[in-house]
Amino acid sequence: MRDVRLESVAVLSRRSILIAAPMLVASLRTSRAQESWPPAFEAGRSQFTMVRPHAAMPQLRLQDIGGRDIIVTAKPGRITLVNFWATWCAACRLDLPALASLAGSRPDRLDIVAICTDTKDLRKIRTYLGGLAVHSLACYVDSYGAAAAASSAMFPLVGMPITYLVGAGARVEGYITGAPDWLSPAGARLLQFYREQG
User: What pLDDT, in 10s, does the model give residues 180-191?
Assistant: 999 999 999 999
30 and 9, same structural domain?
yes
- The per-residue pLDDT for range 124-133, each reduced to its tens digit, is 999 999 899 8
53 and 92, same structural domain?
yes
Cα–Cα distance between 169 and 194 in angstroms, integer? Answer: 9
Number of domains in the chain: 2
Chain centroid offset of residue 26 CA: 29
121 and 59, same structural domain?
yes
For β-strands 79-85 and 110-116, DSSP reports them as parallel
46 and 27, same structural domain?
no
123 and 66, same structural domain?
yes
User: Residue 63 forms beta bridges with which residues?
Assistant: 69, 141
Residue 35: pLDDT band (50, 70, 90) is low
Task: Give the CATH number of the domain where residue 63 resides.
Answer: 3.40.30.10
Domain residues for 23?
1-35
Q: Write phi, then psi, for 151 (nearest 5 degrees).
A: -70, -30
